[in-house]
Amino acid sequence: MSKLFIFFFFLLCIQEEPVITWSKDTKLAWEDFKAKPKTDSSAVAITASGITFGFSIKSTDKNEVLSFNTDVNAYFYPEQSWYKPERATKDVLGHEQLHFSITELHARKFRARIEQLKVSNRIRVELKKLQSTINRELAEMQNRYDFETDFSRNKENQEKWHRFVNAELNKYDNYKSIEAN
């Protein structure tokens, strides 16, 4: 059984905790899960992943909004993620990887929706509302994923989810996270 904690931060400061940025070429390994396992939990692993979001607004001296910029990233947090080595399997690791990919999918959806926003004096409110909506949708999908796959034990549904998430990532490919070189 695995569970997921979602971290969705509105950041205007620099990230201090070590993170792994989502990349199609970077696959999680058990060594990335650095937190001490919770012995009182029935979970085999916990993936701490989330979307960081920051924005800046350029205004006139009369507070008329001229433009805005945003920064959206999908991260995995090693220091908050853990697993129980005696129960960990490659199937559970694949399940945890897909949790991280679901986080990236929502980062892409967030960027796509931001692109549709028009510059206005309400942009701050619109961005915060959009952040809240994405946060809710991400949590709902993560919970539905765990439920429908029975935390990785339902192999048929696990494969369906894998195909679905990959298709969705491809659909939003123009909004993928910038990968480090």
Tens of pLDDT along the chain (181 residues)?
433 333 444 333 345 789 999 999 999 999 999 999 999 999 999 999 999 999 999 999 999 999 999 999 999 999 999 999 999 999 999 999 999 999 999 999 999 999 999 999 999 999 999 999 999 999 999 999 999 999 999 999 999 999 999 999 999 999 998 764 3
Residues 6+ apart with CB under 8 A from 97: 27, 28
Residue 69's nearest CA partner among 114, 104, 110, 105 is: 114
Determine, yes or no, domain membership for 146: yes
**In terms of residue numbers, what domain contains 72?**
2-175
* Residue 145 near residue 161 (C-beta atoms within 8 A): yes
Determine, yes or no, domain membership for 95: yes
- 0.85 cut: is pTM over it? yes
Determine, yes or no, domain membership for 97: yes
Determine, yes or no, domain membership for 10: yes
pLDDT at 179: 65
Determine, yes or no, domain membership for 60: yes
Determine, yes or no, domain membership for 77: yes
pLDDT at 15: 52
pLDDT at 177: 85
Rounded Cα distance between 7 and 99, Å, is 12
How many domains does the chain divide into?
Answer: 1
pLDDT at 123: 97
Determine, yes or no, domain membership for 180: no
Q: Report CA Rg, the chain.
A: 18
Bridge partner residues of 64 (DSSP) = none
Determine, yes or no, domain membership for 181: no
pLDDT at 44: 96
CB-CB neighbours of 90 under 10 Å = 8
CB-CB neighbours of 128 under 10 Å = 13
Rounded Cα distance between 164 and 144, Å, is 13
